[in-house]
Amino acid sequence: MGQANRRHHFVPDFLLKQWTGSDKKLAYFTWLPNGTLHTDRCSSRGVGFEEHLYSQANPSGTKDVSLERELFTALIDTPSAPVHVKLLNGKLGDLTSPEREAWSRFLVAQLVRVPSMIQYLCDVGSQMMLADIKDIEPPDEIKKQLGHLTLQQYLETDGAWLLGNASKRALEDIIKSAQLNRVFLDAHWAVHTVTGCNLDLVIGDRPLLLEGRMTNTFLFALPLSPKSIFLAANDAESIKNIAADRLRDVVCAFNKESAVVADKYVYATDGQQRRMVERYLRKPSGPDDQHIVAGLRSALRAARASL
């Protein structure tokens, strides 16, 4: 199986390559096990991925990579890339309805496609499905195949891959969710440029930032390039306030947030932001409680408790 099929990007290349320089590489920062902040340069295709992140298991033990190709590439990233170009070129107001819908799906996808959220959805999905089949009596034919195991015992052991597959297949329904997409489609959109600032924006391996709560007043932010950031808010004043701030303050605030909520990596044009990253990037031993994922975990936990 080719490397391209194994590498499943949760931060798409069309986004990351905006941070590459004349060497066609970007700078990245990450903590090493010995507590040292490691910095190096790499191509945009060489970061922001995890092998087989969206793959499903086959009975033979091989990996089915169709979900990455048919969902995240075909439905999410490919339609979003030209919208990203329009946003960079100051054509937000020229977006068609299909383009706004494509960008909305892209934003929703950023909520759930990161590795920590994929793992959580698989864990919670498996628990809920096991609870649903707890008292189900399978047909005699299935009983013969299970041998001495109950259906629940089988799915907890040898058949656990089936539950993982089902959870990953649910990703498409989540990303297409009308309720989640309405959050973005009904919001006020803007692209804020910081070309007059001598500091560049950074981007983390959890690139979508959230201030507030999706059920209340919120502001989403997504760095589009070192000099521009996409904003979506349900209160237009939030965007106006950002536009009124000093450019350097805006860049510093968003860069701090990108580092704080990142899982393992922060990406930049160069090493200029090293001190900031060293101060705010969570070490592997630190609690992972600052990202949207933490809020979604709580929401899913509450939803499960109400079932």
Taking the CA atoms of 129, 134, 135 and 141 in sequence, report the sign of the dihedral they define. positive
Going by pLDDT thresholds of 50, 70 and 90, the confidence category of residue 53 is confident
Q: Report whether 242 contacts 2 (CB < 8 A).
A: no
* CA atoms of 238 and 242, how far apart (whole Å): 7
* CA atoms of 99 and 255, how far apart (whole Å): 28
* CA atoms of 136 and 119, how far apart (whole Å): 26
**Alpha helical stretches, state H, the chain:** 3-6, 13-16, 66-67, 78-88, 97-112, 115-132, 140-146, 151-156, 160-169, 171-175, 178-185, 236-244, 247-261, 274-280, 292-305
Whole-structure pTM value:
0.84
The residue written with tokens 């592997």 in the block is 284
Q: At 89, phi and psi to the nearest 5? A: -90, 15
Side chain identity, residue 114:
V
Least confident of 189-198, 214-223, 251-260, 266-275: 214-223
pLDDT of residue 5: 84
Q: What is the pLDDT of residues 69-102, one digit of tens each?
A: 999 999 999 999 999 999 999 999 999 999 999 9
pLDDT of residue 143: 57
> If DSSP states are collapsed to H, E and C, what string results for 211-278?
EECCCCCEEEEEEEECCEEEEEECCHHHHHHHHHCCHHHHHHHHHHHHHHHCCCCEEECCHHHHHHHH
Side chain identity, residue 116:
S
* CA atoms of 288 and 294, how far apart (whole Å): 7
pLDDT of residue 286: 67
pLDDT of residue 307: 44
Helix (H, G, I), strand (E, B) or coil at 147: coil
Average pLDDT over residues 226-251: 95
* CA atoms of 57 and 128, how far apart (whole Å): 20
